Amino acid sequence: MTDNRLRDGLLDAVTLVALILVLLPIIWVFIASIRPDADIMTGGLIPTRFTVEHFLAIFARSDFLVALRNSLIVGVVVSICTVLIAVPASYSLSRFTYLGRDFMGFLILATQMLPAVAVLVPIVVLIRSLGLTNTLTALTFTHLALGLPIAVWMLKGYIDAVPRELEEASIIDGSTQLGAMFRITLPLIRPAVIAVGTFAFVLSWGEFLLALALISKTEVKTLPLALQTLFDPYSFSWGEVMAGGVVIAVPTVVLFLLFRNQLVGGLTAGGIKG
């Protein structure tokens, strides 16, 4: 009994430490964004004065608003396209048998073996030769390429877990194979589809490296690039940088809050029992 309590206590303590390590920078960013500049580096963690001037300042900047719009456009398009491409691709890998299927699956997975930095140069060369530099299209395609492989494999795992008999029952009941996918399989893997869409959005929303390599014009910059411009050596404000950080974090936090049940379901659901 005492051993159990001790073990539970130790586990709780470890969890708490891990949680503090993860949350402390986030809390610090949020608190710093609502404190006057003077308090950010000098004051303690508990704020005594509050201000919204940093938020007003960054929202007064047209380049930041343009970047916010660009990030939203690219993020939403990437998220929707990821789902639209990953669902049929993973369904095909999971349900159909054809020549080269396993090799194709391996190739999709193999793209994850190289870090993004390793493919950065070829991607930049490719985008330049296509004349797409400094376009949101370039960002959309590259972000799609980054997130799709994981999305396909993640969804394939969930589709594999849906018993084929459910689709067969639907086919006997009068649907086609595609009809069975839409009416039976898709509703059952909905949490995973939402998870995949959310992750694609988050990945695109926070992506910096490719954006830095492909975008230089202000009118097509995304939020991570716009945030970088806040580190202006002539008029630098920690408060504005932190407020920018909060703005970048808000949509992902909202998405996770909106879909938290679905996401947890999507991450933990193993099999589906009839």
Binding stretches for other proteins (CB under 8 A): 163, 165-166, 168-176, 179, 184, 187-188, 272-274
Nearer CB in complex with other proteins: 7/164? 164
Residue (41 or 172) nearer to other proteins, CB: 172
> Residue 60 is inside which H or E element, if any?
helix 53-60
Distance in Å, CB of 80 to other proteins, minimum: 23
Q: Between the CA of residue 218 and those of 48, 63, 134, what are the distances in Å? A: 37, 7, 9
In the complex, least distance from residue 271 CB atom to other proteins, rounded to whole angstroms: 10
- 135: Cβ–Cβ under 8 A, 6 or more apart, which residues? 220
Nearer to other proteins, 117 or 272 (CB): 272
Long-range pairs for 244-251: beta carbons < 8 A, 24 or more residues apart = 244/58, 244/64, 245/29, 245/33, 246/29, 246/30, 246/33, 246/55, 247/55, 247/58, 247/68, 247/223, 248/205, 248/206, 248/223, 248/224, 249/26, 249/29, 251/72, 251/75, 251/201, 251/205
- Report in angstroms how near the CB of residue 83 gets to other proteins at its nearest: 19
Which residue lies nearer to other proteins by CB, 126 or 188?
188
Give 8 or 102: the residue with its C-beta nearer to other proteins: 102
Q: Residue 274 Cβ, how far from other proteins at the closest point, in Å?
A: 5
Nearest approach in angstroms of CB 124 to other proteins is 45
